Amino acid sequence: MVRQTQQSLCKRLAELDGGSFRQDPWERAGGGGGLTCVMQDSTVFEKAGVNTAVVWGQMPRSAARHMGGGQRLRSGEGELAFYAAGVSVVIHPRNPFAPTAHCNYRYFEIGGADDDVEAWWFGGGADLTPSYLFEEDARHFHSVHKKICDRHDETYYWRFKKWCDEYFYLPHRKETRGVGGIFFDDLHQKPVEELLAFAGDCAAGFSEAYLPLVERRHQTAFAEGHRRWQQLRRGRYVEFNLLHDRGTAFGLNSDGRVESILMSLPLAARWEYDAQPPPGSEEARLLAVLRQPRDWVEEG
């Protein structure tokens, strides 16, 4: 599933941009590897990364307890066998009116001394990070994900939408990273085949949720002030990923491939002292939504 998602999404992004992806296969010393695909400084996309990883090996039981399903592990010490597979996507368009987007879907298995599985779970989600707010874009992104969730469990969307707003939050800024989407972790309460189907449906639906927004916005005329604001917002993106994102922390603390882990960071970002947008401006309108998350689709 993760490899099919990578191939399909890279093909569609390259067709929209007219550029091509650099492909870097890599191997993990302890077992497994992955493929990092990045298109950088291109026509439509300033940076787009679509990564896969399928890895296995041993990890300390103490470290495993801090992962999504780690609280369900049996007591004891020593090392545990693990298996992980996932696809991770971060896309930063060049045009300030085209939103940044992220998605990742992953599966973990942690085994015991005799290779019995002590815990397994799915995690992931997708979220939208605009520099300028177009309500129709936010509604479209959320509507597609709600339809996908509803096909599998009608409780999923509202649970995972709330979780997304709470997870992608910068406490030091008192604002969310973007306008949200869905987010979940330690999903194991249904048969593994059903949850794999759900994760695969979400991964396949990301193109439908996101690419029409880029197609709609990437040729919009913009001024230097719009570009400056975009880079300030991307500075917030960097702050979240380096300070609060659990996936980034896990990768850097588990001897992961640094170039693949930090693929998520934008090509250019900006920090200014006390950069406050004028009251009533489009920039201030975005901030108001980030400080008070909204529902973008109706219940039911």
Q: At which residue do the structure tokens 């177009």 appear?
A: 134
DSSP reduced 3-state for 107: strand
Q: What are the tokens at 18?
A: 């007219």
Closest C-alpha to 10, from 86, 91, 125, 84 = 91
- State yes or no: is 102 an active-site residue: yes
Q: Would you list the DSSP string of 214-277?
A: HHHHTT----HHHHHHHHHHHHHHHHHHHHT-HHHHHHHHTT--HHHHGGGS-S-----TT--P
DSSP state of 99: P
Closest C-alpha to 87, from 67, 68, 107 = 107
Alpha helices (H) along 60-173 = 61-64, 135-152, 156-167
CB 153 within 8 A of CB 202: no
Q: Which of 66, 92, 102, 140 is catalytic?
A: 102
Q: Measured between alpha carbons, how far is 112 from 116 in angstroms, rounded to an integer? A: 5
Active-site positions?
A: 102
